Amino acid sequence: MTSAGGAAPTNFIREIIQADLEAGRYDRVVTRFPPEPNGYLHIGHAKSICLNFGLAEAFGGRCNLRMDDTNPSKEDAEYERAIREDVRWLGFDWGEQVYYASDYFEQLYAWAVQLIRDGKAYVDDLSADEIRAYRGTLTEPGRESPYRDRPVAENLELFERMRSGEFPDGAKVLRARIDMASGNLNLRDPVMYRILHATHHRTGDRWCIYPMYDFAHGQSDAIEGVTHSVCTLEFEDHRPLYDWFCKALGIHHPRQIEFARLNLSYTVMSKRKLLQLVEEGRVAGWDDPRMPTISGLRRRGYTPEAIREFCARIGVAKKDSTVDLALLEHCLREDLNRRAPRRMAVLRPLKVVIENYPEGQTETFDAVNNPEDPSAGTRPVPFSRELYLERDDFMEDPPKKFFRLAPGREVRLRYAYFIRCVGVVKDADGRVVELRCTYDPATRGGDAPDGRKVKATLHWVSAAHAVEAEVRLYDRLFSHPNPDRAGEGSFLDHLNPDSLEVLRGCRLEPCLAGARAGDRVQFERLGYFCADPDTADGRPVFNRTVTLRDAWAKLRKKGG
């Protein structure tokens, strides 16, 4: 992973790989990213993607994209397509071939037969609950299954019959014959194959037995010549089993290395919980901009550069911790500040009539596209007698520290003139519906020739030229920083009821009429926004990507 500041920083995994190369253990680095196509990838997967592809790039090797498609009951071709799209969008290339664990089913079966012949695997008739009970606990050894000492010939016959579909789901399993007294529960005769009469999205109905992850993963790595199998910490206790299978089969033996997974505040990372949010209609889908999925972040307006920078900054650790969501938002703001063009938009319009401005007259002002990028130039913004201001920028009876527009007060309109409020129009319910103002022609461009000052500069949009739009204001999906561990109850109890506010009748400056899905802009004073795929010709829909206020930068200044 390389940060915007230059070369990628070293970490303990890079040091291990470097030592392996120098010792001649491997002559070329091969890593892999092996997602299961049972859901959409999320920001935690982005860390793994950046790490695995980044390691391969740093050492001049390759990283395989491999679908861990060994559970047909939960997997789908839709998820596979989404995974490919997300990895490419993040900026990584897996080469000419996508790998699939399902392509290795025949070889995995042959290896299972080899272990049976060697007396290292057996067919077990215990139920799943019985296997669990026989396994023992962390303080008590397990008990051997009564079927553990079946003759090799009988095991071979039963395993072949399992493959041919003679038995119902759950009737039998194939287990490795290791050590029921091992202090590592994963070595207490783990299940290698289970019976599952389900149609696979790639192999159809050719198989009714499917390998478990622990049996398929290491062998898939071996088939592909993977040198370093980089996993998250929950697989640390599985490493002895990974090593046992490779050694027992006498095949290429990759090195498994574990690192801390990404935990992000105000977020859940479990695919099961994310699927629950989708299936229960708590969100609009996997790509809902409130979701931590890569597709959701993309729809919200995140850039791949910002996500890669975030992954580089959090680094690679050996101990689990939770990263503040504010850091991810900080990386995004830094990136968008450099690239996003500035535009004016009024989200809650309040009409303003400039009484001394000529009726029917229009003039234009040159507005800066991006003060961080002088090459971005300027754009013309029309100005007329009737404007829209933000409703929050006016108060009829303002408190002491409110410096925006109020009766009798003068403010600056961005790029344009000073205006003064001289009247307020209300409806029958007493609600302010229109302001009457005057302007000072001598302040064109935003400065008064007599040197008088104003305390506020407001954005605006010409009413005659404005484009009507829908704007969706997204906030954090959860109101608790750790919804998974927020006391008793469900993580659903901590859903933020204000995570989405939809505003209709917003007014944008006219150049946004042609906005296309994916266009990112900064609405001045309001935040960064992205045109949603729901955008149609002349009817833009914008999602708020992130506000302008940077909590992470503020925290760092305080030394936090």
CA distances from 419 to 113, 358, 508, 518 (A): 85, 14, 20, 35
d(CA 145, CA 126): 7
210, two tokens: 């499917």
Distance CA 472, CA 456 (A): 26
Kindly list the distances between the CA atom of residue 268 and the CA atoms of 49, 147, 531, in Å, as whole numbers in the listed order.
19, 41, 26
Strand, helix or coil for residue 256: strand
What element of type H or E holds 84?
helix 77-89
Please provide residue 441's backbone torsions phi and psi, each rounded to the nearest 5 degrees.
-60, -25
Q: Return left, alpha or beta for 125; rule: phi > 0 is left, psi -120 to 50 is alpha, else beta.
A: alpha
Report d(CA 44, CA 493) in Å as an integer: 23
Q: How far apart are CA 293 and CA 494, in angstroms?
A: 19
User: Token match 């392996």: residue?
Assistant: 20
Torsion-angle region of 538 (φ positive above 0: left; ψ -120 to 50: alpha; else: beta):
left
User: What Rg value do the Cα atoms of the chain yield, rounded?
Assistant: 30
Which sequence positions are flagged as catalytic?
36, 261, 271
CA distance 194 to 269: 27
